[in-house]
Chain A
Amino acid sequence: MILSAHRSLLVFSGLCLLVCSPAKTQNERPAASLAKHEHREVTFNRDLAPIVFRTCAPCHHPGEAAPFSLLTYGDVKSHARQIADLTQKRIMPPWLPEASEWKFNDDLHLTPEEIFLFQKWVDAGLPEGAPADIPPQPKFDSSWHLGQPDLILRADSSYEVPASGSDVYWNFIFRVPLEKTRWIKAIEIRPGERRLVHHANLIIDRSQSSRRLEKTFGSGFPGMELQIESEAFDPDGHFLFWKPGTIPAPAPPDMALRLDPGNDLVLNTHLQPSGKTEKIQPAIGIYFTSEPATRFPVLLQLENDRKLDIPAGEKNFLVTDEFKLPEAVSLLAIYPHAHYLGRDMLALAKFPNGATKTLLHIPRWDLNWQAVFTYTKPVDLPAGTVISMRYRYDNSADNPANPNSPPQRVVAGNRASDEMAHLWLQVLPQSPVTESQDPRRVLQEAIARHHIANNPGDFEAHYNLAAMLQARGQTLQSIEHYQRALALRPGDATVENALGSAYFASGDFPNAIKHLSVAVASRPDYFDSQYNLGLAFANAGQFPQAIEHLRAAVVLHPKDADAEANLGAALAANGDTQQAIAHLRRALELNPQHTLARENLDSLTKPQ
């Protein structure tokens, strides 16, 4: 009798764990130069229309997020002083990073010369200019940007955004109906009424762990930050971020995103009341490719939330973290994350040759305009490069974004009024994956150990490190870190399950049964732990108990061939040949290639 497979989960927290569908193609920047315009009249058609069409119109057109259109002379004229004012203050177009050595896609940064043109135009009395000077008006259409998607999913129910009050964070779960593993080259997020949606993040939930947060099936759930559990070692390193004006771009052909049957996609939205009650019901369009990924980016997270304890009134609170890369990588994208008190956010790379360069500098953070920034060309970071983040927080009354009045002491947490200090990097390891060495694991293990060094009480770091060690076969070390995670969250069903499965792997069935039983008792609908407990009992020779828990697993996941096969095996071992045959046949119906089910069935049905 052969029994197989144990499962555990890897926990990630934070906003994003997904694919880049950054945005639009770059239009060539008009080379506005101050000298060129000094001695002649500035006109809308010749001087401003190219800037407005490139940087304003993508959001300021009907159906998009911005409040009014900026497509014609008349449109712009009726907001002229406002535009001149907001561009000068660098509020519009919304673009947080300062210009630096490495450029980002869809850079909306205006040059001082461009900003000056708006001032000059207002001073000149808003001249329209010659009709021949105006470039063609950009065309926007409301259909799917990449053509008809292969699969369109709508949120099961809409969410009603109240007419007034503070910003709202709501999550929608998309249950993807897949029969087999598919590869995704692009996803378009259509968040619904765009005026209400400040930004949205799509996260893959490989273990349906978010479903537990819904009050009723399909209702969605509140929350600014998500904690998603991800099956075993699966370092999917993709961002899927939406902000107003985003046009999806397909991922490079060899970097498609894997989606398996049973995976959910969770859309985390930041919504702002508009003055009337409105319903939003987002949709996503998925574009598949037949080419599986051959290159796999990794997300690395620098963070130092433990240092976030900002006294009320503190104007300049510094939080830093630094991490030395154990492998050479190409940096593809960067995503800084703080809440309302963040002010100045800096990410640096100190190269092995001693040079220090700025990867990202946001001199004035604004949560409302957060984004994933994708480099136009990947940035080479050799092994030994030290990445650092230096975030400054302003918890004084002078910070207009301060959610507390008067200011209060603020610590790390998931609520909007708590703080965070995270920096996500999407990197592509430069050395190849071989049988003996996976650079993704080297990176993930190094970052987990880094987090533990920063914060020995970091539950997720212990858990993730344990899961990686377990995946690598270092079972005893993995048990040690699972135990440390369990000490931080006693009774946590996910950890009890993982620790049980690690004991199982080490051959310690009594301890496996002990921890898996705790997991099952606290969450009877937890498939993985029912399945694992069934296997543990079977391996310990306690077949009636094994049958009980494998039956429970089959009820929870009726289409799981492994569960059916093992139930069949346990029934056979317990002497119930008839039922055993039925379940082994069912396993083969679900997966005709299931070797264990085939062998066991053959041994039961063929004459000895």
Chain B
Amino acid sequence: MTSRSTRTKLIATGPVLFVFLAIASFAGMASAQTALDLRGKSVDPFHSSRGKITVLVFARIDCPITNRYAPLLQEMNDAHKDKVAFWFVYPDKKTTAEEISEHLRQFSISIPALRDPSHSLVKHASVTITPEVAVFDSGGQLLYHGRIDNLYEIAGRSRPAPTTHELRDVLDAAIAGKPSPLASAPAVGCYISDLE
């Protein structure tokens, strides 16, 4: 983590009195953004992807929409290996590491996977859906969260082919050092809030 950013939040505690509360920087918070790798070891994906753009792909093993994106995500991962670190993140605490390994094997995914049973990464990335991607710059700043593209209009209803490509556009801009073309776009799939 090289650059530091500070966010402030305004909290109203009374009709007249305002208190400025400094929220810790991403760098400072990084230790809190941990999840478990498939061996049960605590991993901070931002630390592990240092210097790279980080893409968290929130996934679920029984979500067909997630599955349908596997080839595209793997392809993007392979194309941008040097500059972008992809992670699959499974927020369902009931899903075991073995089931995740099997899921990755079935869909030929070599992207590393994390379990996020405490939803620490879910909250950090402001995501609500699987599949939803969150893109962070090399400083850990959230650039974008939302759909990969618009293949699905809504769960159960897909287009013949996507006509917008949000993840691709955000990554291209980030790699080129340009500002993100958009901050979010609604994702379509299964609700993370349906998981315990």
Contacts and interface: CB of A to CB of B under 8 A. Distances in A.
Contacts of B66: 275
A165 B155 CA distance: 17
A605 interface: no
A147 B162 CA distance: 43
Interface string B115-151: 0000000000000000000000000000000000010
Interface of B: 62-64, 66-72, 92, 106-108, 150, 153-161, 163, 190-191, 193-196
B106 A78 contact: no
Contacts of A292: none
Given A368-B158, A400-B153, A275 B191 contact: no
Contact of B107 (A91, A167, A275): A275
A397 B64 CA distance: 26
A416 B196 CA distance: 41
Interface in A275-325: 275-276
Nearest to A401: B159
A91 B154 CA distance: 8
A79 B160 contact: no
A80 B194 contact: yes
A556 interface: no
Contacts of B70: 163-164, 275-276
A417 B159 CA distance: 12
B160 A67 contact: no
Contacts of B155: 82, 86, 91-92
A274 B64 contact: yes
Interface of A: 67-68, 77-82, 85-86, 89, 91-92, 94, 163-167, 195, 272-276, 340, 366, 368, 397, 400-403, 405, 416-417
A82 B191 contact: yes
A165 B190 CA distance: 21
B5 to A, nearest CB: 33
Nearest to A69: B62
Nearest to A75: B62
A92 B163 contact: no
Max chain A C-beta neighbours (<10 A), residue from B67, B68, B69, B156: B156
11 contacts: A67-B63, A68-B63, A80-B194, A82-B194, A91-B154, A92-B155, A275-B68, A275-B70, A400-B150, A402-B163, A416-B160
Contacts of B196: 78
Contact of B108 (A86, A91, A276, A405): A276
B68 A91 contact: no
> Which secondary structure dominates where chain B touches chain A?
mixed
A86 B191 CA distance: 11
Contact of B157 (A164, A276, A366): A366
B68 A166 contact: no
Nearest to B92: A78
A81 B154 contact: no
Question: 9 shortest A-B CB distances, which residue pairs?
Answer: A405-B163, A275-B67, A400-B153, A67-B64, A164-B71, A403-B160, A275-B70, A68-B62, A81-B191
Contacts of B160: 166-167, 340, 401, 403, 416-417
A82 B71 contact: no
B68 to A, nearest CB: 5
A86 B68 contact: no
Nearest to B75: A164
Given A91-B156, A416-B160, A81 B193 contact: yes
Given A167-B160, A368-B158, A401-B153, 11 more contacts: A81-B194, A82-B155, A85-B191, A86-B156, A91-B155, A91-B156, A163-B70, A274-B68, A275-B107, A276-B70, A400-B157
Nearest to A81: B191
Nearest to A274: B67
B67 A276 contact: yes
A447 to B, nearest CB: 32
Given A77-B194, A79-B190, A195 B64 contact: yes
Contacts of A400: 150, 153, 157, 159
B74 to A, nearest CB: 9
A340 B158 CA distance: 11
B159 to A, nearest CB: 6
Nearest to B70: A275
A545 to B, nearest CB: 53
Contacts of A195: 64
Nearest to B71: A164
A163 B108 CA distance: 10
A87 to B, nearest CB: 11
A94 B62 contact: no
Contacts of A366: 157
B156 A276 contact: no
Nearest to B152: A400
A164 B68 contact: yes
Given A78-B194, A79-B194, A274-B68, A368 B157 contact: yes
A453 B148 CA distance: 50
A166 B196 CA distance: 34
